[in-house]
Amino acid sequence: MKKMLEHLINVIQKDEMELMFGKGSKIVIESVTYSTNAKSYVIHSKVFATEIDDSVDVFPTGLNMLIDEGWKYSGINNDITKVNTLDVL
């Protein structure tokens, strides 16, 4: 599930991702786990951004949008909780 979500974001949504975080940026899904307490999947993601000025303005909203779109394409209808991290290359 991690690799599928990474592929959907880094390949399928590459143009939008590079527009937000800079050319050569990459998103890594650290983990996808199911929380029985929250009854939702918890997605821990990390952005490796190349443009810090643009990235700070759109983080975490832009990353959340990319994850939501990728999750929708995956066909899984469960709720998700997102934990995001920003690193600069």
Structure confidence at residue 24 (pLDDT): 93
- Per residue in 18-63, pLDDT tens? 999 999 999 999 999 999 999 999 999 999 999 888 788 899 999 9
The dihedral of CA 32, 36, 75, 58: what is its sign?
negative
**2-88 has which CATH code?**
3.30.300.20
- Domain definitions of the chain by residue range: 2-88
What does the H/E/C string look like for 52-67? HHHHHHHCCHHHHHHH
- Per residue in 61-74, pLDDT tens? 999 999 999 999 88
